Chains A and B, each alone.
Chain A
Amino acid sequence: MSGPSDYQPSNPALQWIERRLPIMGLVHSSFVVYPTPRNLNYWWTFGAILSFMLGMQILTGVILAMHYTPHADLAFKSVELLVRDVNYGWLLRNMHACGASMFFFAVYVHMLRGLYYGSYKEPREVLWILGVIIYLLMMATGFMGYVLPWGQMSFWGATVITNLFSAIPYVGESIVTLLWGGYSVGNPTLNRFFSLHYLLPFLIAGVVVLHVWALHVAGQNNPDGVEPKTEKDTVPFTPHATVKDGFGVACFLLLYAWFIFYMPNYLGDADNYIPANPGVTPPHIVPEWYYLPFYAILRSIPNKLAGVIGMFSAIIILCFLPWLDAAKTKSSKYRPLAKQFFWIFVAVCILLGYLGAQPPEGIYVIAGRVLTFCYFAYFLIVLPLLSRIEKPRPVPNSISDAVLAKTGSRSTPMVSTAIVLALAGALFAGSAGDARAEEGGTRPPGNKWSFAGPFGHYDRGALQRGLKVYKEVCSSCHGLSYVAFRNLAEAGGPGYSVAQATAFASDYKIKDGPNDAGDMFERPGRPADYFPSPFPNEQAARAANGGAAPPDLSLITKARSYGRGFPWFIFDFFTQYQEQGPDYVAAVLQGFEEKVPEGVTIPEGSYYNKYFPGHAIKMPKPLSDGQVTYDDGSPATVAQYAKDVTTFLMWTAEPHMEARKRIGFQVFIFLIIFAGLMYFTKKKVWADSH
């Protein structure tokens, strides 16, 4: 992409092609001999990481689309069946869902790197603006992708975001109707979002080609911000950059795999395991983490239209960055003031993200307004002002001088450490408020689960006992509609034989038909049948249970959670703690108390439960000691029942968990060895260049 190539293949057949389509010359000049500055650091590998992630998202997405049904009544179920029944469907879905988060994580690092080293400055303005366009397209794609599973957060996220456009004067309402294809978010909306979610990644790929083209015309920026002058300043792209990027990608894959195999729901919202319901709003609508800073800006501005304008300008302002920052020195390495303001800006973004996830009340609103001001002030006041008053340190004459000098400034780590510490302190202060607020409710106690941790597996005895508790107690009101009898005999489950599962199924009466006379009839269950639900529809369930429909239990341990708060959610990333759901379910089953504490009023027809949000639960105490007889001598107590049935329900929510953790371990061994090999190869290749 950087001018005509003199590359000539030696093979005559390839020569014949090359004369007619010089594609190998293009690749050769762009990715083999292309000169790349020799002082690039690892922050420059994120370009390759992003290309890799885009390819990964398109590949997994195309396969997922083969199994997905874009219909309001079927989408949620098709995603669940994809995860349960398609070969490695759980892996594909985790790769795609976590992949979106990883993609955004990488793009934020990539953008901040550009910001720090001044990569948007002359002659790279167009390159930078193309990057902002890619980022906008990514945001649209990510948003529409999140709608497709059609859970509660999908539906309400779509409602809130499409309603942003209603703030536009005069035409706003018609634009929203056009987006919906109806009078509210519904099936037509889901259909067009699916279509666009499939289209946009290819548009992104197209703009990425332009981005890379512009990069190869202007040449890469580098940590010292001086343009390469002689051949000594550069190294050929292959093998130097290729192998270094390869090592970067391998390290990034380790992080990615940590999420895919061990924390697939860490970045998601439990509410999205509840099917979309247009009649019930979740108490707390939160977008995915990568939109949170902008969501915080939206909510900080009390006027609706101004809020929407503020949110969009927070992104659009990036396009004007090359002209807002007129400083001649590119790299913040040589700009003592810009460097400090950069780290303050990073802290502002992280804090805005934190606020975006908090309820819009009290101190959070004020903090949001202050930080929104800081965000815009960085671009509109700090950067223009700095370019006038700051006295930059002298930049090296050439890249090779910089590499030879390599004294390295010691102040960078100190400044960033100080800011990170300040940030942690601020978050701590915020979480103290959280903790106080939560004293009103009771946190579920932690349990020791057999399925926790990187080597977790289901306790077969607990699964079998839990199935018995479900069948004898829970099933009179709660369905288990995503679980088939055949699943009982599958690997990683309760460990029944196919014959046992068939016998278990035949105890059930399943409605089938119509027969030749046109009538529905009942027949004994077969392994392929699903657990029958106790009520024919939600209205019947509601009517029979005093207005509160008992939820389906297939996904309950993933659909329930509670806020862990700062700093726990950070520790959880390392400890792989993700058993909020099971802890909560077990706690609710044991949380019934006869005596209602003072200050709590329980309406008639409800019961007091210590752990249920609001404490008034419609379900009467379901379990009592001795209610279910165990054959294996386990204690017939409520605590044991609760533990067993929760283990069983964790399995129904995630039948392939054992495979996930087992394969995860193998993948980690492979990736660690691969990354090690890449590292030593890189060292060897670069031995003469440093």
Chain B
Amino acid sequence: MNPDASTIAAGAPIEVDLSPVAEGQDIKVFWRGKPIYISHRTKKQIDEARAVNVASLPDPQADEARVKSGHDQWLVVIGICTHLGCIPIAHEGNYDGFFCPCHGSQYDSSGRIRQGPAPANLPVPPYQFVSDTKIQIG
């Protein structure tokens, strides 16, 4: 009952070109049937994400550990609420990040859970920068 060969093959890594995404914008791509949010964060969003006391978070994780160093403006997260799997809405909620309309979980500009029933941060998918404007997810 585990995924069959064709499903696994279709889940191969994908490349995404980041050059059209302006600062403050984000795009949603699908990988393995899951929505991946790629946010081009503003200076304000980065500062907000780094100003918070990490130890006070429900799922403590520094912003630096969630992005690739040298590409700090890019946040890549799986857009599936860690509560019960709804898709959060970008640029909503009180933390300049994501807001889940189902049960009211709120994530900050680093995709970390700040408020609501979700137990964990939005997961970061495996990815790396192929060039400065291109990433490979998977």
Give the residues in chain B near A70, CB-CB below 8 Å.
none
> What distance in Å separates the Cβ of B114 from its nearest Cβ neighbour in chain A?
14
The distance in angstroms between the C-alpha atoms of A349 and B1, with both chains bound, is 37
Which of the segments A86-94, A177-185, A471-479, A581-589 contacts the partner chain? A177-185
**Do most interface residues of chain B lie in helix, strand or loop, or is the interface mixed?**
loop
The distance in angstroms between the C-alpha atoms of A360 and B117, with both chains bound, is 10
B11 contacts partner chain A, Cβ-Cβ < 8 Å: yes
A403 contacts partner chain B, Cβ-Cβ < 8 Å: no
A279 to B11, Cβ gap below 8 A?
A: no
Q: Which residue of A lies closest to B118 (CB)?
A: A304
The B-contacting residues of A in range 159-187, CB under 8 angstroms, are: 159-160, 162-164, 166, 177-186
The distance in angstroms between the C-alpha atoms of A307 and B1, with both chains bound, is 27
Select the residue from B3, B4, B85, B103 with max chain A CB neighbours within 10 A: B85
Contact of A302 among B33, B87, B117 (CB under 8 A): B117
A181 to B84, Cβ gap below 8 A?
A: no
Given contacts A183-B11, A361-B104, 16 further A-B contacts (CB under 8 A): A156-B86, A159-B84, A178-B2, A180-B3, A181-B1, A181-B3, A182-B3, A183-B3, A185-B33, A188-B4, A192-B1, A279-B30, A284-B101, A284-B102, A304-B118, A360-B104
Interface CB pairs A-B, < 8 A, 20: A159-B85, A160-B84, A163-B83, A163-B84, A177-B2, A178-B1, A178-B2, A181-B1, A181-B4, A182-B7, A183-B32, A184-B33, A192-B1, A278-B33, A283-B101, A285-B86, A299-B103, A304-B117, A305-B119, A361-B104
Give the residues in chain A near B68, CB-CB below 8 Å.
none
The distance in angstroms between the C-alpha atoms of A160 and B117, with both chains bound, is 14
Give the residues in chain B near A299, CB-CB below 8 Å.
103, 117
The distance in angstroms between the C-alpha atoms of A178 and B1, with both chains bound, is 6
The distance in angstroms between the C-alpha atoms of A291 and B33, with both chains bound, is 28
What is A's interface to B at a CB cutoff of 8 Å? 156, 159-160, 162-164, 166, 177-186, 188, 192, 278-281, 283-285, 299, 302-305, 307, 359-361
The distance in angstroms between the C-alpha atoms of A165 and B4, with both chains bound, is 21
A184 to B84, Cβ gap below 8 A?
A: no
Contact of B85 among A163, A181, A279, A360 (CB under 8 A): A163
> What distance in Å separates the Cβ of A181 from its nearest Cβ neighbour in chain B?
6
B interface residue count range (under 10 / 10 to 19 / 20 to 34 / 35 or more):
20 to 34
The distance in angstroms between the C-alpha atoms of A183 and B84, with both chains bound, is 15
B35 contacts partner chain A, Cβ-Cβ < 8 Å: yes
How many A-B pairs fall under 8 Å by CB?
76
The distance in angstroms between the C-alpha atoms of A109 and B78, with both chains bound, is 44
A304 to B33, Cβ gap below 8 A?
A: no
Give the residues in chain A near B32, CB-CB below 8 Å.
182-184
A281 to B86, Cβ gap below 8 A?
A: yes
The A-contacting residues of B in range 1-59, CB under 8 angstroms, are: 1-4, 7, 11, 28, 30, 32-35
> What distance in Å separates the Cβ of B14 from its nearest Cβ neighbour in chain A?
13
The distance in angstroms between the C-alpha atoms of A281 and B88, with both chains bound, is 8
Q: Which residue of B lies closest to A359 (CB)?
A: B104
Give the residues in chain B near A156, CB-CB below 8 Å.
86
The distance in angstroms between the C-alpha atoms of A284 and B83, with both chains bound, is 15
Give the residues in chain A near B7, CB-CB below 8 Å.
181-183, 188
The distance in angstroms between the C-alpha atoms of A180 and B107, with both chains bound, is 26
> What distance in Å separates the Cβ of B32 from its nearest Cβ neighbour in chain A?
4
Contact of A160 among B4, B30, B102 (CB under 8 A): B102
> What distance in Å separates the Cβ of A451 from its nearest Cβ neighbour in chain B?
33
> What distance in Å separates the Cβ of A282 from its nearest Cβ neighbour in chain B?
8
Q: Which residue of A lies closest to B1 (CB)?
A: A178
Give the residues in chain B near A281, CB-CB below 8 Å.
86-87, 101-102
Give the residues in chain B near A304, CB-CB below 8 Å.
83, 117-119
Give the residues in chain B near A188, CB-CB below 8 Å.
3-4, 7
The distance in angstroms between the C-alpha atoms of A188 and B11, with both chains bound, is 14
Give the residues in chain B near A359, CB-CB below 8 Å.
104
**Which 8 A-B pairs give the minimum distances between C-beta atoms?**
A183-B32, A184-B33, A163-B85, A160-B84, A281-B86, A159-B85, A281-B87, A304-B119
Q: Which residue of B lies closest to A360 (CB)?
A: B103
Q: Which residue of B lies closest to A167 (CB)?
A: B119
Give the residues in chain A near B85, CB-CB below 8 Å.
159-160, 162-163, 166
Contact of B84 among A164, A280, A284, A305 (CB under 8 A): A164
Q: Which residue of A lies closest to B119 (CB)?
A: A304
A303 to B4, Cβ gap below 8 A?
A: no
B119 to A303, Cβ gap below 8 A?
A: yes
1/0 contact trace for B75-104 toward A, CB 8 Å?
A: 000000001111100000000000001111
Give the residues in chain B near A183, CB-CB below 8 Å.
3, 7, 11, 32-34
Q: Which residue of A lies closest to B87 (CB)?
A: A281
B2 to A181, Cβ gap below 8 A?
A: yes
Q: Which residue of A lies closest to B100 (CB)?
A: A281
> What distance in Å separates the Cβ of A195 from its nearest Cβ neighbour in chain B?
11
The distance in angstroms between the C-alpha atoms of A299 and B85, with both chains bound, is 14
The distance in angstroms between the C-alpha atoms of A279 and B34, with both chains bound, is 9
> What distance in Å separates the Cβ of B81 from its nearest Cβ neighbour in chain A?
9
